[in-house]
Amino acid sequence: MTIRFDLDGKTALVTGASSGLGARFARVLADNGAQVVLASRRVERLKELRAEIEAAGGDAHVVALDLTDVASIHAAVARAEDKDGQIDILVNNSGVSTTQRLVDVKPEDYDFMFGTNTRGAFFVAQEVGRRMIARAKADPARQARIVNIASMAALRVLPQIGVYCMSKAAVVQM
């Protein structure tokens, strides 16, 4: 059974859209009528996904986004809204991991995972949320949503990805 949603006229920003779940979320949103803004560091992969979505009759655009850089977040959200209009849906999906035992995690590995998975997700949600709140004051009938993607690993530490699990547990709290 396929469930369809009417997302015509809606703009969705999907972070981490260059692969995996992010790419899948982007395809589903486009298939349901949303104009999709694909965001990631890997722009070439985003361009391939955009071509795939457009070939299927959807509407997609690409913005470069580095979640470890707050200036990049602000610029990407501004570019997305300048080009595609106000963001109605944020799928905050980006995530990175390393595979190592907790006793072997280096500070730079920890900072990279928390910087992307937790800090980056927070500041994307904050930037998009500010804009959504401002629009809601002007047009209370307009609906907007933020969906933060965590992981089942947030509920149970798994071998060799403990820091990833911790970072996604923070996303659950977000």
The residue annotated as part of the active site, out of 25, 114, 123, 164, is 164
Catalytic residue list contains 110: no
State the angle between helix axes of 107-114 and 162-173 in degrees (0 to 180), rounded to the nearest 10: 30
Best CA proximity match to 167, nearest among 103, 76, 94 = 94
Structure tokens at 51: 């071509």
Across-strand partners of 89?
Answer: 12, 145
Cα separations (Å) of 20 from 16, 134, 140, 146? 8, 32, 34, 19
Kindly list the catalytic residues: 164
